[in-house]
């Protein structure tokens, strides 16, 4: 397995209304899939097949006769939703920002020489480590935004 291909468990499937929570889980390094415009039974079937925990705000969707792992989220606020997930996830700083927040794929190291024309010159001159999503092509680096977001995630996770 490649050095930066780290999979955290558990994996989650979230309903569309939990998009912000999915993004936060991805920032923490968790596989958090959202299937848009797919019926509930298909989503549950996929979650079961891929051994994912189904996460929803709908009590109706949780009350199914099918046997599968599920979490009912009560809050409408994505920060509170993350706190509701604390029993199911753990914070590991090593995994923060290892997954694309847009398409949920793992990020990979890329040489700065390969992306010279894809990033601003200031960023190229002041940073040496870059990661890329092989699916959507988004490039990430550890700038001030990274440090601020990491601190915010830690604060969200540990403090009310």
Q: pLDDT of the chain along its 160 residues, tens only?
A: 344 445 667 999 999 999 999 999 999 999 999 988 888 888 888 999 999 999 998 776 656 666 678 899 999 999 899 989 988 888 888 888 999 999 999 999 999 999 999 999 999 999 999 999 999 999 999 888 888 888 888 777 666 5
- Please state the pTM of the whole predicted model: 0.85
- Start-to-end CA span in the chain (Å): 37
* Predicted local distance difference test score (pLDDT) of residue 61: 60
Q: Please name the helix (run of DSSP H) or strand (run of DSSP E) that holds residue 108, with its range, or none.
A: strand 107-110
Query: Helices in 13-143 by DSSP H: which ranges?
Result: 19-27, 40-49, 59-62, 78-84, 121-126
Residue 32 CA to residue 9 CA, distance in Å, equals 10
* Predicted local distance difference test score (pLDDT) of residue 119: 93
* Predicted local distance difference test score (pLDDT) of residue 68: 73
* Predicted local distance difference test score (pLDDT) of residue 1: 34
How many CA atoms lie less than 13 Å away from 29 in the CB half-sphere? 18
* Predicted local distance difference test score (pLDDT) of residue 150: 84
């Amino acid at each position: 397995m490649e050095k930066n291909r780290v999979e955290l468990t558990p994996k989650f499937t979230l309903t569309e209304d939990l998009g912000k929570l999915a993004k936060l889980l991805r920032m923490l390094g968790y596989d958090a899939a959202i299937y848009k415009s797919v019926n509930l039974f298909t989503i549950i079937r996929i979650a079961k097949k891929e051994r994912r925990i189904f996460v929803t705000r709908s009590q109706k969707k949780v009350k199914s006769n099918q046997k599968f792992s599920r979490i009912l989220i009560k809050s409408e606020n994505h920060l509170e939703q993350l706190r509701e997930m604390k029993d199911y996830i753990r914070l590991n700083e090593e995994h923060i920002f290892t997954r694309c927040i847009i398409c949920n794929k793992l990020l990979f190291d890329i040489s700065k020489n390969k992306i010279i024309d894809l990033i601003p010159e200031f960023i190229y001159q002041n940073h040496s480590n870059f990661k890329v999503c092989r699916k959507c092509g988004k490039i990430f680096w550890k700038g001030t935004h990274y440090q601020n977001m990491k601190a915010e995630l830690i604060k969200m996770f540990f403090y009310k």
